Amino acid sequence: MIIVNTGDGKGKTTASIGQIIRSLGHGNKVCLIQLFKGKYFYGEQNILTELEGLEFFSFASEHPYCIEGITLEEAKEKCIPAAQKLAELAASEKRYDLIVLEEFNIALRDGFLDKIKFIDLVKKLSEKSDIVITGRAAPQELIDIADLVTEMKEIKHPFQKGISAKKGIEF
């Protein structure tokens, strides 16, 4: 099954973490690959890296729209190892019950990953694993092949009142 969590609202990562916990709770093997979340401390990383049955990989820790001083080209180069890891998983006999690809929609939107190659890898991986892909702006081609697509829609956000990101809520 291919699951896509997308949209401009909060909750895409939170939903995928819930899916990881549910899967691990059934004794499944899970692989989490995160993009753009390595530089800052995210609370879920601290817990998830300790869980038995989960393999965790983090690539491309900064995105130029969030961190000053990172160029688009630098961000793109840092996504290459993530694409290589996906190709390795697709070619491998190693099997996961669930593979979560965090913020990959952003990498696709910004042209950091080749959309056609990525979708081909997702199709191949979905033959042996359930796949969750998160991030804003999921491409239509990915939505078309997905079995389940959820769009998180922002109605109201504390940022609108000038409230900064809160530890334990936003990160």
The average pLDDT across 115-120 equals 97
| Vertex 111 angle, CA 37 and 9, to 5° | 50
**pLDDT at residue 146 greater than cutoff 80:** yes
Q: Are 42 and 14 in contact (CB under 8 A)?
A: no
Q: What is the mean pLDDT of residues 92-108?
A: 95
Mean pLDDT across 141-152: 98
β-pairing verdict for 30-35 and 54-59:
parallel
Looking up tokens 């291919």, which residue turns up? 2
Of 168, 164, 166, 105, the C-alpha closest to 140 is 105
Question: Residue 124 pLDDT > 70, yes or no?
Answer: yes
Domains annotated on the chain, with CATH: 2-151 (3.40.50.300)
End-to-end CA distance of the chain: 28
- Of 36, 40, 116, 45, nearest in space to 76 by CA: 36
Q: What is the pLDDT of residue 60?
A: 61
Higher pLDDT, 133 or 77: 133
Exposed/middle/buried for 103, CB within 10 Å: 0-12, 13-18, 19+? buried
Q: What is the pLDDT of residue 62?
A: 61
> Per-residue pLDDT for 48 more than 80?
yes
**How sure is the predictor about 66, in pLDDT bands with cuts at 50, 70 and 90?**
low
Angle at 133 between CA 128 and CA 138, to 5 degrees: 130
Rounded distance between C-alpha atoms, residue 65 and residue 2, angstroms:
28
pLDDT of residue 169: 76
Sign of the alpha-carbon dihedral angle for 55, 58, 12, 159? positive
| Residue 61: pLDDT over 70 | no
Would you say residue 56 has pLDDT above 70? yes
